[in-house]
Amino acid sequence: MLTDEYRYRILKVLEQDPDVSQRELAKRLDISLGKANFCLKALIEKGLVKAGNFKKNPNKARYLYLLTPKGIEEKASLTHRFLLKKIKEHEVLTEEIELLRQEAFINTQEINDHE
């Protein structure tokens, strides 16, 4: 499945490194080759990425995965959405940690009670 998470991360990799193989992309995102292939195709299908081949350049991969103007736009939009999302996650996490601290503290108290 192509989540926002991967959409963003793939666009980011391709933006600064268009000559990357699907295997290399898979490695960087820590996903399988099959999934990298699937996601990439989806991005191409959506018109966010264009797969241009470059036979001129030797010693290189088959395709250049270039972001289309739409892709650049989408990536900027995703960055913003992601920032907001991560900030929210940060807030939640901060609260979770506080609760865990209290809980861990209570646990130590209980151990003392039993001694």
Nearest distance from C-beta of residue 108 to DNA, angstroms = 32
- Closer residue to DNA in complex, CB, 5/73: 5
Q: Which residues bind a copy of itself (CB under 8 A)?
A: 76, 79-80, 82-83, 86-87, 89-90, 93-94, 96-97, 100-101, 103-104, 107, 110-111
Q: How far apart are the first and last CA of the chain?
A: 52
- Closer residue to a copy of itself in complex, CB, 33/76: 76
Rounded to whole angstroms, what are the CA distances from 47 to 31, 68, 73, 88? 22, 7, 11, 30
Q: Which residues bind DNA (CB under 7 A)?
A: 1, 21-24, 31-35, 37-38, 40-41, 55, 58-63
Nearest distance from C-beta of residue 14 to a copy of itself, angstroms = 15
- Closer residue to DNA in complex, CB, 53/102: 53
- Does residue 10 contact residue 19 with C-beta atoms inside 8 Å? no
Q: Which amino acid is at 67?
A: L
Task: Tell me phi and psi for residue 32, to 5 degrees.
Answer: -80, 165
Q: How crowded is residue 106: how many other Cβ atoms within 10 Å of its Cβ?
A: 10
Nearest distance from C-beta of residue 56 to DNA, angstroms = 10
